[in-house]
Amino acid sequence: MENEIKCLSFLNGETIICTIKDGVIFNAFKIDTYTDKESKERSFIFIPILKCKYDQNLNTEESKNILNNNNLISCYEPANTVKSAYKYFIETEQFVGQVMMKYLRECGPSKEWVDNLNKELEEANAHLPKKKPFSDGNIIKGAFGPHFEVIEE
């Protein structure tokens, strides 16, 4: 049996696009459309259904569970435009890698968020006295916060 590209639609409105061969699901991704706010350009986005796994292939039992799910509305062949976008996506290792790394790699806050936070902190502490940083041997002091004088009793 040849590989068939199918869409699986569920009652909750989600659609999974995948390749099915001999009843086993391969390269399964949730598919959705994204519309750019400025250009109004629409494109497909692919989201892994197994978020902590690089490989999006299901085994026989998992495939049976999905295909026999009571919430499955339909298993159908997608339109050619959808099919070609999916094929292009799964055949381009770089695209699949970018999507998977988004869900498999931890990352800190964006530079924009950190810069905005620092700006807000500077504005909130603008009324506090500032002291220029100075060097005490190999240690720089006074560069990371407002200066407070120590008052001894």
40 burial (CB, 10 Å; 0-12 / 13-18 / 19+) is: exposed
135: in domain:
no
pLDDT at position 15 is 95
Query: Which residue range is the domain that position 43 belongs to?
Result: 4-104
16 burial (CB, 10 Å; 0-12 / 13-18 / 19+) is: buried
52: in domain:
yes
pLDDT at position 115 is 85
C-alpha to C-alpha distances, 132 to 88, 127, 149, nearest whole angstrom: 56, 15, 14
55: in domain:
yes
pLDDT at position 142 is 62
50: in domain:
yes
pLDDT at position 99 is 87
What are the residue ranges in the chain where pLDDT is below 50?
1
Record the pTM: 0.66
Please say whether the beta carbons of 15 and 31 come within 8 A: yes
pLDDT at position 148 is 59
pLDDT at position 9 is 95
128: in domain:
no
The structural domain count of the chain equals: 1
138: in domain:
no
83: in domain:
yes
